[in-house]
Structure 1
Amino acid sequence: MVYQAITYDVDLGVAVLTLDRPDVMNALNTQMRAEITDAARRAARDARVLVLTGAGRAFCSGQDLTDGGNVADIDLEATLRDEYEPMLNAIYNSPIPTIAAVNGAAAGAGANLALAADVVIASETAVFLQAFSRIGLIPDAGGTYWLPRQVGFARAMGTTLFAEPVSAAQAASWGMIWEAIPEKSFPDHWRARAAHLAQGPTETYRHLKHAIRESYANDLPEQLALEADLQGQCGRTRDFREGVMAFLEKRKPAFEGR
């Protein structure tokens, strides 16, 4: 696929997917959703970590309401099912770690696109806005799934009912995101975070993601059994042996990844 609404680059195991429609604050249209889906799947083959970020002053302003003509004619159910679900699944279910480097406003589906990543790192100038109720809609693009799990029932309800912006600092204090970083150091910081993961034990990260997510549905015996199974698989990797040897030899491990 030739990308027109995003850019995609891979360097030293880090794939950077940049939403690139800055004139409309990186609003999501059909073309961009297809390109994000394709690039996220491609990153799972090309790289050891995937970063999503935005060009210009915004991360993503959400659904492009001018996409496809008259907004009243948009089939929202079909759009979510056929375009959003594959995109979100490609990110959420990626076998490699995913980072949303939120450089500015993340609104509506744009906020929930960021929350689909494993880790959200935001500039302190960023805001998160569940704007749906302002136009008579409910949160979508995974918002009703991720928010209650990350911030709890009360904050999820308040954030979505009142549709008020949440600052990056507040989002970090709530547990909605991992960290809020001063704007000046933000680009170097998320790149360093991505580089750290790209040098790590990729197969271990895949099992780690699976174990933590399954914990929401499992009781303790089920989770303990899952841990034992996945830990056994980790223990059979070259990276485990390398990690132990590096520890004993007091040196930095050289993990191979997948």
Structure 2
Amino acid sequence: MVLNYKNILFKELCDSYSKVLEKPIEQFIDSDIKQHDIDIFKNEANQESPFDKLNLKKHMYDLYTQGKASIVSKKISNARVCIVTENVKEFYPWNTWSTVFQWMGVPKDSSFWQIYIYSSKVKRVLPNEGPIGPEHLNGGYTYACKSDCIVIYRYEEATRVLIHELLHASCTDNMNNSVELREAATEMWAELFLVTILAKGNYKKTLELWNIQDHYIQDLNYSVKTFHSVTSAQDYGARYTTLREDILDNFKLYLDISYKPKRTHMSRFTSPNLDTYLN
């Protein structure tokens, strides 16, 4: 008998997430904005970062100090989210995020997850040519095993980044591996979790959404290899693109060999077609 590891894994993920949905989705409520929150936004915005090369955090914080942006703060029992935004009425998938936090549970080092979001609208786009770096890819960071300051600085793919950073903050990294492999593995799991969540734990729908993501992964990998010389694990872009495929192969989660990839100019990690399932 030949085992289908993809089906087995998604069945386990769907079963696990479905248990979360057996309980009512906890609704986010308004939370008071504290001086500590403003200080965090200021300090993180003014701190030189090797990842935020476009200074997206500083731009959003400057808008706040100029009165052109506001801070929104909401909480549930095990998470608190503060957002610097130019539009307090813009869409955020609070229900989706609530189930993410319910699935993750309480952090190991505190009673709740603390998220800070600079809601920059700058999207991830590949350059016309040449190498790709953090300015084309990154949108958040945290510190391993620390739940008190998870930072996200792009509106685009905020949910995927949230899951990715929560995994880091949950001590899931194998510190015996290189940073490239740790990032690729974390990103792979973030995407597997994401499609399960967006499909609301429905096994058939999860496979359908993964098929969409499978093809997008191939498009992005083809594009960075062919047009941006991402050919080895040492190329910065590999940890979020081509190395994902290596990790998937190690788990026998092979991509669709019948698909013919095409060039994309987007450098976001997940298909934009998945965004319609956020709520």
Would you call these one fold, judging by a TM-score over 0.5? no
Calculate the TM-score normalised by the size of structure 2.
0.29
Higher strand share: 1
Calculate the TM-score normalised by the size of structure 1.
0.31
Q: Greater RCO between the two (CA within 8 Å, min separation 6)?
A: 2
